[in-house]
Amino acid sequence: MKRPMINSLTPSMVRANTLYTFHRAEGFYPLLLKDDDTAVHNAFLNPGTLKVVNEVTGETVWSTEP
């Protein structure tokens, strides 16, 4: 009997539908997240993050500079 394919997406990945880039001194990395508030929360949890950009809107949602 053939097994059905299991979707490899986790529930959190399905809800995460906005691309953010987290910029650091050594470069940047992309993350798919639910919303701006989640991105800002992640920035606080990751010391060294200089800014976070919502790549859908182009807005900087968090930055160490005013």
Q: Average pLDDT of each block of 10 consecutive residues along the chain (66 residues)?
A: 52 71 97 96 96 97 92
In a domain, 30, yes or no: yes
Q: Which domain holds residue 43?
A: 14-63
How many domains is the chain partitioned into structurally? Answer: 1
Please state, in angstroms and rounded to a whole number, the distance separating the CA atoms of residues 12 and 63: 25
43 burial class (0-12, 13-18, 19+ CB within 10 angstroms)?
buried
In a domain, 58, yes or no: yes
Q: Are 39 and 33 in contact (CB under 8 A)?
A: yes
Q: What is the pTM of this model?
A: 0.75
In a domain, 48, yes or no: yes
Residue carrying structure tokens 């470069």? 27
In a domain, 2, yes or no: no
In a domain, 7, yes or no: no
pLDDT (0 to 100) of residue 60: 98
In a domain, 55, yes or no: yes
In a domain, 9, yes or no: no
In a domain, 6, yes or no: no
